Structure 1
């Protein structure tokens, strides 16, 4: 049965902020969430057992244990959750996955921050745009986050999450970050953390390392980025749509 299983009942959270980090264009959310897990030494709090997710075991270089591919980590002191995935989620599984985890978000009264990349228009800048579901739109006004400059669509698993949040009238924020469509983009992840995650979650994150280690991060994520490129339009991303499409 599809469910989210909690491993750390000792961790207590109250109306936490949850940052979604599924692999997508530029791996923006993935890089940001991996950085949060490492920087705050976040605990493996829960695992996602949702229909359609591949039954694979993830191992690390620092131990003999294994983990499920899609996990939720927690930081009790910062009242923070992150959704971390080491695999791309197939579009065929996106609807069931989104339904599975959205119900859990509501159960724990989390405010999800959904993340998607959009192709960068100007190589010199990284803009961050905001969308919202439920009654969360006022938070974007308070942050001064830009509205999207044109009509568009969020596709892939992140799009399914935003759709499910909207259909269930769940408060959530979505951040569309300009990023490279070809390579992992640590600079875009830095912009996301500084302009969106920090003020919403009321936390401070050392993001300098993302730029200092940009080459190392890009090389580490290269294989995953290549798999996402091969997925083409199936990956999570935000794209403009014509008026009559």
Structure 2
């Protein structure tokens, strides 16, 4: 049965911003979301039980408590919610998961920021970031001065499905797309997502020095998940150019 199981009823949120972190190209959404949760010491707020999510259980080092692979964390001071996912979502289930989460977005009066990477070979230039929007989400992009796309493209995977649902339902939402390493976890791209996109839109301040200083450790920790994503790229949340179809 699809439901969001709240663990802490004392958490009070007022029209919060939600940061979505399903794994994708460069694992940028996951790295960014994990960092936000740690940097802001966010509380494990709820477990996500959506039809279509892999029927697995996860556990943490030095902890006996088992939990769901997709969870929600909250920061009441910054009115922030983060969706942390330890697993990819099968492409056939993306629409089902999007519908499950979308109904809760409406109930909780959330403003979602969806995160996606677009594969680009690394060079000396910093990763380019741009934004897209549904509903009145473009106003948030304008206030934050996030750039418009430099090319046509599409967003696929669970992130694309949630953006499609937001578009269909007329829900306000933002999608951030950042140039990312197509082969390996990309902490630098995740840093750009946070510093130039998420912080500006959510009006928060997040220290990001650790993402660069600990890049080697982060890549090593995320390597296994990145390999899973490469073996099943159709399950990945990603942006890609549309030039091939034009």
TM-score range normalised by the length of the shorter chain: over 0.9
1:142 counterpart = 2:153:
no
1:77 corresponds in structure 2 to: 77
2:16 corresponds in structure 1 to: 16
Q: TM-score, normalised by structure 1?
A: 0.97
Any stretches of 5+ residues in structure 2 without a counterpart?
none
Q: Distance in 1 between matches of 2:136 and 2:112?
A: 13
Shift of 1:125: 2.1
1:175 corresponds in structure 2 to: 176
Shift of 1:59: 0.7
Q: Distance in 2 between matches of 1:187 and 1:242?
A: 26
Q: Distance in 2 between matches of 1:54 and 1:63?
A: 22
Indicate how the Cα distance of structure 1 residues 120 and 244 shifts in structure 2: closer, same or farther if over 3 A, else same.
Answer: closer
Residue 58 of structure 1 aligns to a residue whose secondary structure is coil
Q: CA RMSD in A?
A: 1.2
1:96 corresponds in structure 2 to: 96
1:241 counterpart = 2:242:
yes
Shift of 1:150: 1.6
Moved more, 235-244 or 90-99: 235-244
Q: Distance in 2 between matches of 1:155 and 1:14?
A: 30
Q: Distance in 1 between matches of 2:243 and 2:63?
A: 50
1:199 corresponds in structure 2 to: 200
Shift of 1:122: 5.6
2:166 corresponds in structure 1 to: 165
Contact 2:141 2:201 in 1 (8 A): no
Aligned residues: 245
1:53 corresponds in structure 2 to: 53
- Cα deviations across residues 40-82 of structure 1 (Å, max 9, x unaligned)? 2211111111111122111111311111000010011111000
Residue 57 of structure 1 aligns to a residue whose secondary structure is coil
2:220 corresponds in structure 1 to: 219
Any stretches of 5+ residues in structure 1 without a counterpart?
none
Moved more, 134-143 or 163-172: 134-143
2:66 corresponds in structure 1 to: 66
Q: Distance in 1 between matches of 2:206 and 2:145?
A: 20
Shift of 1:17: 0.5
Shift of 1:232: 2.2
Q: Distance in 2 between matches of 1:231 and 1:30?
A: 17
1:118 corresponds in structure 2 to: 118
1:231 corresponds in structure 2 to: 232
Q: Distance in 1 between matches of 2:46 and 2:235?
A: 27
Residue 222 of structure 1 aligns to a residue whose secondary structure is helix
- Cα deviations across residues 166-199 of structure 1 (Å, max 9, x unaligned)? 1111100000010000000000000000011111
